[in-house]
Structure 1
Amino acid sequence: MKLTILGGGGFRVPLVYGALLTDRAEGRVTRVVLHDLDAGRLSAVTRVLAEQAAGVPDAPEVTATTDLDEALRGADFVFSAIRVGGLQGRAHDERVALAEGVLGQETVGAGGIAYGLRTVPVAVEIARRVARLAPGAWVINFTNPAGLVTEAMSRHLGDRVIGICDSPVGLGRRIARVLGVRDPGEAFVDYVGLNHLGWVRGLRVAGRDELPRLLADPGLLGSFEEGKLFGADWLRSLGAVPNEYLHYYYFNRETVRAYQEAEQTRGAFLHDQQARFYAAVRDPGAPALSLWNDTRAEREATYMAENRESAGAGERDEDDLSGGYEKVALALMRAIARDERTTLILNVRNRHTLDVLDTDAVIEVPCLVDAGGAHPVTVDPLPGHATGLVCAVKAVEREVLAAAGSGSRATAVKAFALHPLVDSVTVARRLVDGYCQVHPGLAYLR
């Protein structure tokens, strides 16, 4: 089976390959094609993968190419993990927003809109090429903003594109661990929302909802990441546990202030950190895998550091530094390729799951996955406060898609102005001006 990874020179690709190396079952991936526009990054990642595969019998063959059509032909699965504008673009997203006193995070608020505006046209072109060159392939979208990009691609690929994110998986795993669930795989996580905008409303084990026990115990609530971030009182008020990215909404002023006071934005930190890694791996004698492991450990330990600082949450627990999106991707591929039925939290078209959104809106919910793809399960309606936020952010996503499709600068301004974390049309106009100045990829906006 052939797997093509778009953005194959990306730093997190070895996580995916490491997961593939553990798969010994029939029908596994035997060939991996890495595609990237940067040949130097491709070479660096290929070296890391070669060291990962050392001593592993029948490790998947790895090839690399800068030719997109060559990479796509004959693919059974396509992972889209591109970053349009690179980490320098992410750093620009953060700085332009923070200069206006609003959030520049890559998937939330002004930064997420800017990232979406320059990513959607590229993602749409990829979807069209997949439909033409590999019509039987399944596309698994890693590219942020994951829900928005998945929806853009679904307009050309239908249900054959599925978005994934490790945040809901990690959240469910942490809740299960705190509640003493021995095997998190036995728990059903009642999670619903949009990507980076969802809530765990229940965790059922053997038919019993264990979440009320967590919400009633201040000690348990204060013992894991989200409890430290949001505080026990707020979680009890919500009657749910939010995805960690909702900290940007519930504590926006504190978070923006922390980001403004930080010595370096997250994007700038990652840009410098990864530049050092790729430069070091250019040395033929350098231990590529060891360098990658060290860089990754630092990356994970500093994840959402500003949010934790503003909340007084302290350092991340060691158990939370293991990532997980590669495991979701592998489980998704297995379920489809082998009809190994499973339940995963994924980004898929709504169909009739949430009646406040139309059928084509991409949402993030538990799905039953089999050879026919991912099928969202029936969920209870969202409470009013969550419904308002989900509908508002989905409306913004639709304006981003409209702006990307039409090239309308006015529609781009509308997208920024309507976002709950951008509270001014005047600021929205300045944001569009600022982003167009630093991003050549937004020159299409007129």
Structure 2
Amino acid sequence: MPRKIAFLGGGGVRTPLVVFGINESARRLDAEELLLYDIDPERVEVIARLSREVVRRSGGSLRVSVARSPEEAIEGASFVLNSVRVGGIASRAQDERVAIACGYPGQETTGPGGVAMGQRTIPVAIEQARMVEKIAPKAWIINFTNPAGLITQAIMQHSNARVVGICDTPTEMLHRIQTALGASPHEVECDYVGLNHLGWIRKIMLRGEDVMDRVVNDDAILSQLYSAPLFDHDLIRALRLIPTEYLFFYYSRRRALENQRKQGSTRGDQIALMNETLMQSLLQSMAIHDEAGALQSYIDYLNLRSGSYMKLEGEGGSAFDQEIMPEDPFRAATGYHRIALQVMNALCGTEPERVIVNMRNQATIPDIAADDVIETVCRISNDTITALPVDPLPNDVRGLVLAVKAYERAAIQAAISGSLRDLRKAMLLYPPIGEWEPSAELLKLMQWK
């Protein structure tokens, strides 16, 4: 029976990328229709129209429609993609500005910005999951919504919906390692451990040989692993672990803050401007039925956004001062649309695939509770996801992982209780904040409700 796929938050700017991936895999997924829902009806119509042009250009048959309600989108769906931004990009930008003004790096998923984003999003994500549980109980929720690990855990703890959290950060890191080693994906296997936006590579096997020491002692290789010069190479050697990019906001907080203050802007502000420019361009092109021109504007937007990633925080540079290489982002080897399709295809197939996702710990990491969500390598096939065994957490990161997980549990409880005291406790437990007094000012200024 042909599958219907729902997309909650379908008016988002990454939707056409996901449409491309689903259309490309439509036969394998047996996907017939993708139904988009968004609280902004005008915006989702524009994105749907652009998405149809993506399908037309690709020569596919996927039908892209717009739902009038989340219930309409979800009913009968086999997969429910969840990518919502409660409060919009304006709330992100405000959170980041407030964090910087209060002496913390401004970032949407880590630090004070991540706290505010989580509190706004947790109740909405749980409500949507319960809707899926009721209307389409066999459907898988593919959770894109950030902070991905925190939101996935909230859904698992407060609904019976089937959910897996995805993030392209680990797979992007694996791809960069493969490229730096001049190897193909099947020749490299990495041991990854951690939580969402808090993960490390601790072993790299190249054609059966452990090359971790070679990698961490080679400046030329390490320089290729990040989109901006984030980590001092001696830091990586001291840990003998390769951190994913978001550890920059733990290990180099002062530098991140200094770069943001020097630039005088935030990533959220810059993306808000990019988004506004994009929508104006799309509307102008579509007014004269120039769908090809609209698609080119979208491709230029994606190249600008991805090409400027982490430049502001890592270098103090503006997104609009970067030399952006023209590429076809739809054909990129990594990205949210790639990891989402990898998971969906694996769930529909019988051949097991190894994918790093956010899933219930069970007994994978002994230090962490069984019902907590971790980011780890899982075997996915035939409608099941199973976390693979890993070694215990490395001593050098164990304390940080456990502290952040304690914060996540407290943050979910605060969102459920609505208690300001509970939320300030969560912020006290959270290493990027870790103090009681500043939380009062942060919560007063941030758009956390």
1:231 to partner: Cα distance = 2.5
1:56 to partner: Cα distance = 4.1
1:413 to partner: Cα distance = 1.0
- Given that residues 229 and 315 in structure 2 are in contact (C-alpha distance below 8 angstroms), is that contact kept between their aligned partners in structure 1? no
More displaced stretch, 368-377 vs 153-162: 153-162
Q: Provide the rounded CA distance (Å) in 1 between the counterparts of 2:56 and 2:358.
A: 35
- Given that residues 159 and 348 in structure 1 are in contact (C-alpha distance below 8 angstroms), is that contact kept between their aligned partners in structure 2? no
Partner of 1:252: 253
Q: Please say if 1:97 is aligned against 2:99.
A: yes
Q: Provide the rounded CA distance (Å) in 1 between the counterparts of 2:296 and 2:323.
A: 22
Q: Provide the rounded CA distance (Å) in 1 between the counterparts of 2:87 and 2:443.
A: 16
**Corresponding letter in the other structure for 2:314:** R
1:281 to partner: Cα distance = 1.9
Q: For 1:14, which of 1, 13, 16 is the aligned residue?
A: 16
The verdict on how the C-alpha distance between 1:349 and 1:327 changes in structure 2, with shifts beyond 3 A counting, is same
1:194 to partner: Cα distance = 0.5
Partner of 1:304: 310
- Given that residues 189 and 366 in structure 1 are in contact (C-alpha distance below 8 angstroms), is that contact kept between their aligned partners in structure 2? no
1:331 to partner: Cα distance = 1.1
The verdict on how the C-alpha distance between 1:20 and 1:27 changes in structure 2, with shifts beyond 3 A counting, is closer
More displaced stretch, 215-224 vs 87-96: 215-224
Q: Count the aligned residue pairs.
A: 435
1:58 to partner: Cα distance = 4.3
1:226 to partner: Cα distance = 7.0
- Given that residues 227 and 235 in structure 1 are in contact (C-alpha distance below 8 angstroms), is that contact kept between their aligned partners in structure 2? no
- Given that residues 2 and 30 in structure 1 are in contact (C-alpha distance below 8 angstroms), is that contact kept between their aligned partners in structure 2? yes
- Given that residues 139 and 160 in structure 1 are in contact (C-alpha distance below 8 angstroms), is that contact kept between their aligned partners in structure 2? yes
Q: Provide the rounded CA distance (Å) in 1 between the counterparts of 2:170 and 2:248.
A: 14
Give runs of ≥4 in structure 1 deviating > 3 Å.
Answer: 24-27, 55-58, 156-159, 314-323
**Structure 2 unaligned regions, length at least 5:** none
Q: For 1:61, which of 57, 60, 63 is the aligned residue?
A: 63
Partner of 2:362: 351
The verdict on how the C-alpha distance between 1:57 and 1:302 changes in structure 2, with shifts beyond 3 A counting, is closer
**Deviation per CA, 1:79-134, whole angstroms, max 9, x where unpaired?**
10000000001011111211110123111011101100010000000010000000
- Given that residues 107 and 113 in structure 1 are in contact (C-alpha distance below 8 angstroms), is that contact kept between their aligned partners in structure 2? yes
Q: Provide the rounded CA distance (Å) in 1 between the counterparts of 2:220 and 2:323.
A: 17
Equivalences for residues 9-408 of structure 1 within 5 A: 9-23=11-25, 25-158=27-160, 160-181=162-183, 183-225=184-226, 228-283=229-284, 284-285=287-288, 286=290, 287-309=293-315, 322=332, 323-408=334-419
- Equivalent residue of 2:229, what SS? helix
Partner of 1:430: 441
**Structure 1 unaligned regions, length at least 5:** none
- TM-score, normalised to structure 2, is 0.92
**Corresponding letter in the other structure for 2:369:** D
1:320 to partner: Cα distance = 12
More displaced stretch, 220-229 vs 15-24: 220-229
What is the RMSD computed on CA atoms of the aligned residues? 2.1
- Given that residues 412 and 432 in structure 1 are in contact (C-alpha distance below 8 angstroms), is that contact kept between their aligned partners in structure 2? no
Q: For 1:414, which of 401, 425, 441 is the aligned residue?
A: 425
Q: Provide the rounded CA distance (Å) in 2 between the counterparts of 1:266 and 1:218.
A: 28
Q: Provide the rounded CA distance (Å) in 1 between the counterparts of 2:168 and 2:60.
A: 28
**Corresponding letter in the other structure for 1:78:** V
1:273 to partner: Cα distance = 1.4
**Corresponding letter in the other structure for 1:201:** R
- Equivalent residue of 2:31, what SS? coil
**Deviation per CA, 1:37-68, whole angstroms, max 9, x where unpaired?**
10111111112112112254442101012301
